[in-house]
Each structure stands twice: as structure tokens, then as C-alpha cells.
Amino acid sequence: MTKLALGTHPFLLGFEQLERLVERTAKTGNDGYPPYNIEQTSERSYRITLAVAGFAEDDLAITVEDSTLVVRGRQSEENGERVFLHRGIAGRQFQRSFVLAEGVEVGAATIENGLLHIDLNRSEPDRVIQTIQIRKG
């Protein structure tokens, strides 16, 4: 039995881009840090919450690149000479990516109590009905 790729299924015309999107999502390289939650806050809105304890606002960057929400964190280097007897609090740089569906827009971003909240809103899709005229050949 031949396995059809998503973009080559006979009933899904023009979905090659979706297959590339799935491949790109699999290659984002998210390693589990920082941990995050995704919650649905209403019928058309979502909230992503990342645990970013120890990161200040200036240490974080949020961008949208080709329908991908990218959150980057890099703590500024400390000039003081600190000697740690034990260092169990992660303070490494990170990049976390989320692929956004068409019509999903990034709203506000807030940081409180070591949690970065990013609100997403999905717009109502326009319903399009098109009538095609049939001509004699």
C-alpha cells in the first residue's frame, strides 16, 4: 500500500505549504526550556505562558517571523565575581518557537511573578462564496 503525503492527497489541492509547515515545526529544536503552558482563554483567544524566572523585560525578545512566534531570552552577563557553591537555577539563553495559524495575531505580552504571558487572538474568517459560470466549449 502506498502512503500518500499530505500535500499529494487527491482531495487536498494546494496544501503543499501545510506539509512544509509541519516539517519546519518538527525542526524548531525546542529542548523543553523554558517550560510553558498554552491555554484557551475564549472561543477565539489563547494565552501562552512561559516560566522565565530570573529574566528581566530587557532580557526577553518576542518576534513574529514568517507566521512563527519566536520568544528569545538572554540574561545579561554579570560583571561581579560570584562564587556559587551550588547553581541549580537555570539562567541559560533560550529560543522557543510557536507556529501560528493564518488569522492568529499576537496581542499583549506581560511579565509578572517570573511568568511571561503572551496573548493571541484569532480573527473571524471571512466566509467567501463564489459562483462559477459554466460556458459552452
Q: Provide the residue-wise pLDDT of the chain in tens; the chain has 137 residues.
A: 555 566 566 777 777 777 777 776 666 556 788 999 999 999 999 999 999 988 999 999 999 998 899 999 998 776 667 788 998 876 789 999 998 988 999 999 999 999 999 999 998 888 899 999 999 97
Question: How many Å apart are CA 41 and CA 117, to the nearest integer?
Answer: 12
Q: Alpha helices, DSSP H only, in the chain?
A: 16-26
Residue (of 23, 26, 21, 46) closest to 36 by Cα position: 46
pTM higher than the cut 0.85: no
Domain boundaries, the chain: 1-30, 33-77+86-126
| Grid cell digits, residue 83 | 562564587
| Grid cell digits, residue 91 | 539562567
Computed on alpha carbons and rounded to an integer, the radius of gyration of the chain in Å comes to 21
CATH topology of domain 33-77+86-126: Immunoglobulin-like (2.60.40)
Model pLDDT, residue 40:
97
At residue 121, φ and ψ (nearest 5 deg) are: -130, 135
Strand 104-112 relative to strand 36-42: parallel, antiparallel, unpaired? Answer: unpaired
Model pLDDT, residue 87:
80
